[in-house]
Structures are given as C-alpha cells and as structure tokens.
Structure 1
Amino acid sequence: MNDKDLIATLFELESLIRPGDIRSVLTEFGKELIRRFGFRWFRAEVPILNLEVRIPENAEFEDSVEFSGSVLRLHTGGRIDDLILKALRPLFERLDYTIAYSIFYDVMLNVLQFSEDLILLVDEEGRIVEMNRKAREIFGLREKLPEECRSEICEFGGRTYSMGGIKVGKLKVIVGRDITQIKRLEEAAREGEENFRRLAEAIPIAVVVYGKDGWLFMNKAVEELTGYTREDLISRQFREIVPENEREKLEKAIEAWVEGEDVGPYRLTVRRKDGRERRVIVRGASIKWKGKKAAIVTFTDVTEIEEDRERLKELSEMLSLINRILRHDVLNALTSALAYLEFYEDMKDESMLKKVRNSIERSVAIIKDMRAFEELVKKGELKLVDVRKVVEEVARKFDLDIRIRGSGRAFADDGLREVFENILQNAAQHSGSDRVDVTIKEFSDTCEIRIADYGKGIPNAIKDEIFKEGFKFGDTSRTGLGLHFVKKLVERYNGEVWVEDNIPKGAVFVIRLRK
C-alpha cells in the first residue's frame, strides 16, 4: 500500500468512528480493518462493560495486544508493518476516546433515568424528545407536555409539581419536583395546629412558621438542612444562615406572606453550620396560627438537582466540543495531508512532504490533547493533594531542566497532572527555553505555583487570549486547546491561572489554588 492509498484508507476508517452503539461501532470498524489491511482476525475488548467483539467469532486468537487505551484493548491477527501500525495508532486512540465518552454519556443518562424528579427533554416546538422513567410513569407516552404543566406549577394526576427548565443548545431540559406534601402542609396549617405539626414532622422538607412575634415553629428537617438545632436557630435568628446580600429579600417575602400578599417561589442560598452552602426553593403562604396572622415557609433543597442540570449542560457543551474536534479538526488535518501528498506526486516538491508530516502530527496532537478533556469531564471529588509530588511526577516526562522549589497542598483531583503537563509542554515546545523553574508557596488559604521559563515570552496583547478555545500563536502552535483546558480545570478547582512576564525574559504561568 503506497502513502496515498494509506492516507485515503485512514481517512475512510476515521469516518467510521462515531458515538453510538459500542458493539456496532467496533464490529464495523473491525470488519473494515480486516478488509483494508488483510488481517486474519480482529478482537476488541471493553473490560469496563465486559464487552468483547470477535471477528470472525470462531477464530483462534492470540494474546498479543496491538493497542491498550483507557477503556479499549485491540488485538489483530496477521503480519503488520510497523509503519502501518504507527499510522493506525491515532485512529485507535480516537476510537478509545469516542467509546469512553459514549460510556460516560450512557452513565449520565442512566443516572437521570433513576432520578425521582421528572426530567424531560423538549425541542423548540415543545415536542417531547426524551423523558426519564419517573416522567413516563406520570405522563405516559405523549407528544407534548400536558397544557396544565407548561407553567411553574403543574397540577396533574392528583399531585402538584414545581416545574423549571434550562436551555441546552436547541433543546430544553425540564425538571419537575413533586411538591404535593408542601401543598398539603399549607392546607393542614389552615385546618389546625395539631394536624399541621404532625404532618410537618413527617415530611423531609424544611418547614417554618413565622408570625409578628418571630419564629413560631420549625420542623426536624430544618435541622437536617442547616446543621443547627432548632433552639440554636431561634436564638441566633434564622436570617443569619442566609448570605447578607439575600437577607433583605427573604425578610420582605416573609412579611408579605404574613400579610397575605402573593409572592412567587424563588431560589435562596442557605449556609450550613459546617460552612457548606445549599440551594433551596423558598415558598410561602399566609395562615392563621392561634388566631393571629402568620406565614408558613418551606425550604426545598434543590442543590443536587441544580448540580445535575449544570452537569447536563456542561456535558452537552463538552460533547459538542469533542465532536467538533474529532470530526472537524482531525478530518481537516487528514484531508490537508492527502492534498499535500497529491501535490507532491504531481510536482515532486519535497516541501509538500513536510506539510504532510505537519498535518498528521497535528492530528496526533489533537488526540493527545483529549487526555486533558477526559480529566475535564471526569470531574473527580476534590481532595487535598501534595502539589510538589504531582509536579515532580509530571516533570520526569520531559527532557528539560526543571527545577522545583517549595511545597504545598491544595484542593484538586487527578486533572491537576494535565494542568502541569500542558504548561510544561507549552514551555518545551513553544518558548525556546531549555530551563523551567517551578516555585510552590503556601499562603493562609491558597497555594500558589509559579512556572517560569526563559524563552521568547508572550506578548502583552495576547496574554488573555491564550486561554481561549482554539487560540493559536506562532509557527509551533498546534491545536489551541491545551491552555484552554488548563483554565477550565483550574476554574473547576475554584482557582485562578494567568501569565506574567519573566525577568529578564520569558513567561511565568501563575496558578493559585485554594487549600
């Protein structure tokens, strides 16, 4: 197979790699690989799913592994040229990443399927595209939401739901939470204090009653929401667990409810005794308590559901990004390589071969940058990590004089390795410096890492631009993704990253993380 045919074959194989049913994708890819390169057999394993694809099924397979990725292992039978294997490796890596994100996406969908909230995906015309198990139980199979459920409050099937939505591209995710118990509380409060107390203590929603004389009642769920005892809350004033900038709004809403005025539900932040914050939806209604005006106020904890919404939005953006990168950028790079190769065959211009190599190297660089993307979507639990230890582990990968001073700890996850690797790779590849100094310093509540090189530096005009997706500068630039991922990861740790001038020359990347 000559170079032109090889690139054309790689291009066609690349088009087979797409999100979808994993077994079908692997089967189609394996059959085409056998047909194109004459392999005797093909075997693919995805251990995390206990999935195996064998082509043909009755072949005698050997144990040799041609490729092992994050979720995928590939085996091929037959003689394979080292050059072809090297050319196939970027495709194998892309196949591995595509399967990994298909698995991740399926897991996210399954998590939403078992949510006790109603979750529906609707298009711009209001048609239901998908809904989870709970929504199907309530609404059954239908084309659109019931008319009575297209506002913030939905009365359906003898129950009451609070409905909220968030735009995700051209679709809208609608989440409904059952608030029937809250409505029953309001009714019980109007009927009598004893019935109200009994019902309020039995439900998992924080309930308080407020009158002209202050707090009249708090149920057990208030303690679970805030971490304080009821006695603590009454003595220290309930308002103190609300951020200062939100207190006035809460006080005015409660006063309005006491007077019987209609104030719609709204979101509020509650600061727990342990310092953590919870997001709640506050609802209120006017009642009579021992013959006097009062307000019943409920605080429904929606922290997890809002995190799910945000995560779904983030996942959609990430999947859109990876689809663009892998199907657009890699495709363009391989198409360019094919065009340059045709120019070379026609003109015998040796400079065309260098451009072919550059295009292929760009494809490889894009796929390598996906490692940072993988850490970005994993979103592991933040924990205190030894920053110096992480820097030392990453520094061993570089043929560069890297000097590390100081130590410290900060909240991060495994993605911190990708942060340091991208910045050090940036110094090694673009700065022209043969030395990098890493200084780690702890402050009262932060850890600062300064990564300084002694190369050509970064112009002031682009210091803010280099962290934007796709921004490229200079002849050695590749994907324009590495520093974008760095910024995204650091922000996930509630940290900051920026670049300064080094003295006398070069650049300093400064990362500030909380501890």
Structure 2
Amino acid sequence: MGYEILDEINFPIIVIEDFTIIYANKKFTELFGNAVGKKCYEVIHATASPPSFCAILNLISGGKGEEEFYEPNLKRWFFVKVSRIDSRFLHLIVDITEKIELLKKVEEKEKFYRTLLEIAVPIFIVQNGVFVYVNSQFSELLGYAKEELLGKSPFEFVHPEDREKVKRRYESRIKGERLDEDYPIRILTKSGERWVIISPRRIEYNGNPAVLGVVYDLDEHIRQRNIVLTLHRLLRHDLKNALSAALMSLELLKEGQMSLEKVENSIRKALEIVEHSKIEELKPVDLAELAERASDNIDAEIVIKGNCVILADDSLFSVFNNIFENAVKHGKASRIEVTIEKKGRDCEIRIADNGIGVPEELKEKIFEGYSATGSGIGLKAVREIVRNFNGNIWIEDRPGGGAVFVIRFKDCVI
C-alpha cells in the first residue's frame, strides 16, 4: 500500500503493524529520525515493551486510541490519535507543547489567585443575596466556620444601623451602578461589634453577576490611634507636673533652700518623661528594670520584688511613674512595695503603699477621669495604656492601711 501521499502532510505520521513501524512520513523522520523497522514504543517511549497508556492498546481495549507523551530530546509534548486500517494502525501525531504550557500557566495563575484569596485579606463573594464564597481570613474575622457562613445572608452580620445602607449599595452594584468603592461599616462577629472598611466590586461568578468584597479591619488602626491619643494626653499631664516641680525647685534655688543637684534631677525627670512617652514598636520589656527607672526621684522607699518580661513598650514607664507619684502625693505614702509575679502566660503586678488608701466609692472613679485630688487624669491614662497591652488595673485595700494597685497583663509573658 502506498503511503507517499502522507509525506505532504505537515504532521508526523507513522503506520504500525505488530508494534513495528512500517512507514514514517517526512515530518516524523525529521523529528524522530529514521524509524522504519523499529518498534514504535522504543522510538516514541524509549521502553522495551508497550506502556500501559499506549494508544494502540487503548484502541484495542475499546478506548479512543489516544495518548499524550513527552519527548525529552526534543523537549516537546505530543498528542497521538490512532486509527485502525485492517491489521495496521495509523498514528497521527500533533505537537501540543504550546497548549500544555498554556494550561500550566493557567493552572499556576489559578493556584496563585486561590492562594492569594486564602492568605491575603478577608474576602467574600455574595450572589443572589447570600455568601457563595468566603476565604479563611474572612471566616476567622467573623469567628465562624466557612460552613456556617456559606448560604447565609451577609446582612445578618452587619450592624442594624448600617444594614439598610449596605443593602442599598449591594443592590445598586448588582445593577451595575457606580458607587464610591470603599466605605466603613460595623460588622457583628462572634465576639462582638467590629469596625471594618468594605471594598466591593461587581464581578461575574459562574456566569452570573455577584459582588466580591475585600475587608480591611479598622479595629487595629483605631487601637493604634487611641494609643497615640493616650500617650499625648499622659505626656501633657506628666510633663506639666514635672515642669511645675522643676520651676518650684528653681525658685527654691534662688532663695537658697535647694541644691543645684536637686534642680538638675527635676529637669532630668521631665526630659525622661518625654523620652519614655514615644510611640514604639512592641518589644520585650523587663518590668522590674522599668519600675526601677520609674522610681528615681520618687520621695519614698520603693522595694521591687520578682520580675516578668512581656511584649510591650516603654510607655509602661509612665504607668509605674504615675502610680508611684499618686501614692506619695495624694496617698501620703512613705513606702511602696512592688511585687511582679508570672502566672502562667499572665503577669500580675501589685503596687502596695502604706498611705491613707483610696475610699471605696473612688476606686473606680479615679480611673474614669475623676480629679477631686488632681490625680484622676493621670490614672485614667494609666488604665488606657494598660488596656492597650491586653491588661487591666484595679485597686484593693492593703491590710493594715494603704492601697494596692493591681495590674494584670493577659497572655503576654515571653
């Protein structure tokens, strides 16, 4: 049978009988060399017998007679289609390298975007008024498992006062109307209310319009802003007290009632307050060392026992300094005992003084800005700083008289 006409076809073609190549057209010979008389599996697959995915075996067993293979010398992928002609098999071979590479790129892109959706920021997709996709970050933000969110209305998780606004924006966006892209709302997580910014986009999802939302958590930004405001307020309060003391010292120096060394100490303390009121990155803080530094120039005997190292910053200097000054100035204390104790991952600080104590009705008020004695503003800022580092502060009575300021930092010991 003459197969010479197949030489004009620009695809590799071979004819096989009993797995032996009895004809190869010019294109096949150009790519694979002179193969007539050789076993097809030796030429194509470099094996000693037909592989399990052989197109001939596939066709004989009732399959489509197709296979794909990679030729390492040519570094090309090929697709084989086998047709049966009596006892012989005609192989049409097509180079599919570009197709394979394109598919790989598509798969890599899909994998990249799937990974991006999972690890970058909280993301959701809403279609027909319900969640049809949520990533792990979004699930963690709300505090619910993905299965608990899918199929639910997103409006259930929006604060009642923001719900109508979000509904209107969703409906308008589905219709294709342009709106301001980003807007802040309050969401209802499993642990409570939270401020976020929603950045929605209209997309096609499974062939139908949907809204993809990217969520930016505002709570951390608000917390950082509150730290700034707290430190500024505390700085003004502490600096005013320190500079007033320095000015008084200068007056006493003029009158010959105070030494130059004490005046220098007063001014140095004012500068130290400014230094320790800077906003810093979190770092390991040695509480005993910080309390020791804060005790300088406090007119009382201060004893420090125990220690903890926690993740915080030097703004805690002002916490110790304010409590020490409050005990001496308003509590009339002459001795202060600081006990720092590690309790698992928590750290408890007890600052006990031998002063006049704090009346029961004022124990909470002085942390709310109450200032009958002039101490409230500083202690309000003290509580805010403590809370910034996942802590709390309260006052207890000291046996025998005096007050105990108790500070408990949770899950912070390193």
TM-score, scaled relative to structure 1: 0.39
Higher helix share: 1
Higher Rg of the two aligned structures: 2
TM-score (normalizing by structure 2): 0.46
